[in-house]
Amino acid sequence: MIREAKDYESALALAVSGTALATGSFITPVGWAAFALAYKPLVRIQKLARLEKLTTSLLDEFKNQGIQVFPVLTIEDKNPIDLFVRFERKIHLFISIRSIGDKEIVYNEAREVLQIKRKDKHGLKVWNPCPLLELADYEKWLSKNRDLFGMSSREATKTPSAKVLVLWPFTKAADDHNSHLYSEVGSMRILALRRKGTAFVIQQEEVTEFIKAWLAKYE
């Protein structure tokens, strides 16, 4: 479905030169409408391509471990959840995929905000909407909507969950954050930012290794 949606969006962009999508279906009509409203047409094509690549990779890697991957889940007036990954009664992961070009991301501890630093210019600007706050909202959303997944109250509230901000090339986190902002997950040293809970910040190529390490922690 992701691949079909991506192909449709690509054809549409060529046909109407970026005119916003008015009709279509992606997961559900409601889900598609929210997705279409959340992102501009060409951004949607990039987003769909990333979702396709990451979802395919995860299903291939963990197909024998009972992985379930739910893409583009609508959540009230917020950006959709890019991926909700479920290993039933083992772990949950909320994944946001973000790319803002060839820029570095910096966490301002005093203000508790993510900031964007351009390599060719001085100064920082606040990243809005804040991916950390969005991830916190996603976790709350699951506890209220567990019936959509046939999930018990115990699984929804007791299953270890990880909120993960995946930076897609060429966006990356600055490498000079204070040492106390990092946590060890398996053999990985990961930026772990605490804003309404903890969110892990990793690069696209680290997703599989992170999920393996998170699984191993709770098996």
Which residue do the tokens 């100064």 mark? 123
Q: What is the pTM of this model?
A: 0.84
Examine residue 131 and say whether the peptide bond preceding it is cis (omega within 30 degrees of 0): no
CB distance 146 to 153 below 8 Å: yes
> What's the pLDDT score for residue 78?
79
Do the beta carbons of residue 204 and residue 168 sit within 8 Å? yes
The pLDDT value recorded for residue 12 is 47
> Residue 27 in 3-state DSSP?
coil
From the centroid of its chain, how far is CA 190? 16
Residue pLDDT tens, the chain, 219 long: 667 766 666 654 444 333 322 222 234 555 555 666 667 777 778 888 898 899 889 999 999 999 999 888 888 777 889 999 999 989 999 999 999 999 999 999 999 999 999 777 678 999 999 999 999 999 889 989 999 888 999 999 999 999 999 999 999 999 999 999 999 999 999 999 999 999 999 999 999 999 999 999 998
Distance of CA 37 to the CA centre of its chain: 18
Closest C-alpha among 85, 50, 72, 74 to residue 171: 50
